[in-house]
Amino acid sequence: MSATTEWIVAGSAAATTVFVGTASLLAVRQLKEAHTGNRLVALARVTDTLIADPIMKARQWVFANADALKATRLSDLAEPDRTRVEAVWRAYDRVGLLFDHDLIIDERPVLDMWGHSIEHTYEILKHLLTERREDGNPDFAHNFSTLYRQAKAFNSSKAEP
């Protein structure tokens, strides 16, 4: 093989390497952008769940009736009130499910926005949730319990200087 041929082959190999490397870098960038887009969609889905009118009203009702709820039993709640409590449990359980199965890559924005509400709501309704679980479904809203622990830890870390 002549020196000229060797230079042409080497130049061709170098050009191919540059093109493949550039294509690889662009592919990685596209994957990162797609990943970021998916994170935004997941965050929007969580936010939409928690600010949906029926859930928002149910959460507000829980906070407005916190003292009464802490002193009552689930069986003593009127049907509309029990429905509100169940709606809150299920909404936070759905969010916890997304966290538990790593469908929310970064929980911090959700916990930063909703952490206090998650923690406070759970503490108001914990005894009612325990009673609900004793009715035959010991795993009912277990993702809400996991979410509560994450929110509590997150809130504690925010309080530290």
In this predicted structure, what is the pLDDT of residue 31?
52
Q: 67-108: per-residue pLDDT in tens?
A: 999 999 999 999 999 999 999 999 999 999 888 887 777 888
Q: What is the DSSP track for 95-136?
A: HHHHHHTT-SS--HHHHHHHHHHHHHHHHHHHHHHHHHHHTT
CB contact burial 38-53 (16+ within 10 A = b; e otherwise)? eeeebbeebeeebeee
Kindly state the average pLDDT of the residues 9-34: 59
What percent of the chain is modeled with pLDDT above 70? Answer: 77
In this predicted structure, what is the pLDDT of residue 9?
64
16 has pLDDT over 80 = no
Tokens 């009912």 appear where?
140
Domain boundaries, the chain: 42-159
Mean pLDDT of the chain: 83
Chain centre distance of CA 48: 12
Contact (CB, 8 A) for 98 and 46: yes
Q: Rounded to two decimals, what is the model's pTM?
A: 0.73
Q: 114-145: per-residue pLDDT in tens?
A: 999 999 999 999 999 999 999 888 999 999 99
